Amino acid sequence: MDPLMFSLFWVFGWVILLLVAWQLRSSRRERKVERQHKERMMAMEKGIPLPELPADEEPDRRTRLHRGPQELCAWNGHVHADACEVPVLPGEVVRT
């Protein structure tokens, strides 16, 4: 097999795989929201208290990417945020 063809198959194969995974994830999320909507509408029709909306199981991507120093300390195993030192620049330390 030609190296160029192999590279093209490799790249497009990964792209297709990622697109399929993204589609499956979004359709699962859409079904979940639709199911919650149906439950709430049925509760409204019957006159019973509305079911609580569950908290998102997975945090928003933006909040996962922008972690604060306290969460960084928790990941490093520090129990108390007061005892955590977060390096900012080489040789510089900020106490949180």
Q: Is the pTM of this model over 0.75?
A: no
For 7-34, what is each residue's pLDDT tens digit?
A: 999 999 999 999 999 999 999 999 999 9
Provide the pLDDT for residue 1.
75
Q: Structural domain boundaries of the chain?
A: 1-51, 62-96
Using alpha carbons, list the distances in angstroms from residue 82 to 15, 18, 68. 45, 41, 14
Ranges of the chain whose pLDDT falls below 70: 56-96
Rounded CA separation 23/9 (Å) = 21
Provide the pLDDT for residue 81.
47
